[in-house]
């Protein structure tokens, strides 16, 4: 350690200059912002519920089930996603599809988001491109475990996010959710 550093005072002053510079520079920007210059930003904070940072289009968000043109799910209940899921959070019950050309469809397709790890394996495993994670919805927390289970109907109703990553469907609320 150099003698000047042992003396400490010079280092204190240089540290105070640095933080003081930040303070006054940011204070000036805050003041300019308050006086109407909207481009001046004194902080890097994004004030979350009002402001949101843009999401990447590749972000894995809440799942949705892709619909056919008649509105029925594209899913053929092949159980690929249920098998590949490392968290075992998908529960499928298969049923006959009314159209004889299509072999099966899910009677139930539940995802327990309390267990889901958002790995995206279900999307990759799907041979029919029937499940996607592109809704842009991130806020689906619940006070109860039942409130985290999303059913086929809820997942079918979801739309993909817009090109800017903003969700286009409202956050679905499970009927079991207590709060």
Partner 1 sequence: MTALADFGIAFGRVVFIMMFILNLGGLLTWVERKQSAIMQDRIGANRAAIRIPFTQIRLRLLGLFHPLADAIKMLTKEDFLPARADRFLFQLAPFVSVFFGLVAFASIPFGDTLRVGGRVIPLQAVTLNVGVLYVFAMLSLGVYGVMMAGWSSANNYALLGGQRAAALMISAEIAIGASIMGVVMWYGSLSLQDIVRAQGDLLFGWIPKWGIVTQPLAFILFLTAGIAATKRIPFDMPEGESEIIGYFVEYSGMKFGMFAMADFLETVVIAGLTTSLFLGGWQVPYLYETGLRVPWGGTLGLPHLLVVLLQVGAFSLKVVVMIFVMMLIRWTLPRFRYDQAMRLGWLGLFPLSILNIVLTGAVLLAWGTRP
Residues contributing to the site for partner 1 (CB under 8 A): 9, 12, 15-16, 18-20, 22-23, 26-27, 30, 42-45, 47
> Rounded to the nearest whole angstrom, what is the least distance from the CB of residue 28 to partner 1 in the complex?
10
CA 106 and chain centroid, separation: 25
Q: For residues 119 and 80, what is the distance between their CA atoms, to the nearest angstrom?
A: 15
> Rounded to the nearest whole angstrom, what is the least distance from the CB of residue 47 to partner 1 in the complex?
7
Residue 65 contacts residue 75 (beta carbons within 8 Å): yes
Decide whether 27 or 175 has the Cβ nearer to partner 1: 27
Decide whether 22 or 168 has the Cβ nearer to partner 1: 22
> Rounded to the nearest whole angstrom, what is the least distance from the CB of residue 51 to partner 1 in the complex?
11
Q: For residues 123 and 136, what is the distance between their CA atoms, to the nearest angstrom?
A: 15
Decide whether 46 or 56 has the Cβ nearer to partner 1: 46
Decide whether 49 or 127 has the Cβ nearer to partner 1: 49
CA distances in angstroms from 79 to 19, 50, 88, 106, listed in the order given: 58, 40, 12, 10
> Rounded to the nearest whole angstrom, what is the least distance from the CB of residue 10 to partner 1 in the complex?
12
> Rounded to the nearest whole angstrom, what is the least distance from the CB of residue 140 to partner 1 in the complex?
23
* Rg of the chain (C-alpha set): 25
Q: For residues 116 and 121, what is the distance between their CA atoms, to the nearest angstrom?
A: 11
Decide whether 15 or 162 has the Cβ nearer to partner 1: 15
Residue 62 contacts residue 174 (beta carbons within 8 Å): no
């Amino acid at each position: 350690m150099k003698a000047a550093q042992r003396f400490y005072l010079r280092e204190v002053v240089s540290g105070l200059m640095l933080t003081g510079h930040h303070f006054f520079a940011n204070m000036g920007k805050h003041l300019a912002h308050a006086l109407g210059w909207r481009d001046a930003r004194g902080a890097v904070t994004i004030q979350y519920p009002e402001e949101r940072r843009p999401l990447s289009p590749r972000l894995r968000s809440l799942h949705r089930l892709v619909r056919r043109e008649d509105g029925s799910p594209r899913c053929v209940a092949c159980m690929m996603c249920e098998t590949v899921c490392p968290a075992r959070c998908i529960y499928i019950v298969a049923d006959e599809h009314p159209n004889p050309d299509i072999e099966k469809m899910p009677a139930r397709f539940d995802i327990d988001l309390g267990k889901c790890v958002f790995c995206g394996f279900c999307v990759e495993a799907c041979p029919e491109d029937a499940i996607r994670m592109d809704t842009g919805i991130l806020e689906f927390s619940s006070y109860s475990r039942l409130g985290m289970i999303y059913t086929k109907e809820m997942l079918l109703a979801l739309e993909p996010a817009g090109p800017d990553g903003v969700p286009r469907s409202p956050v679905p609320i499970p009927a079991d959710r207590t709060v």
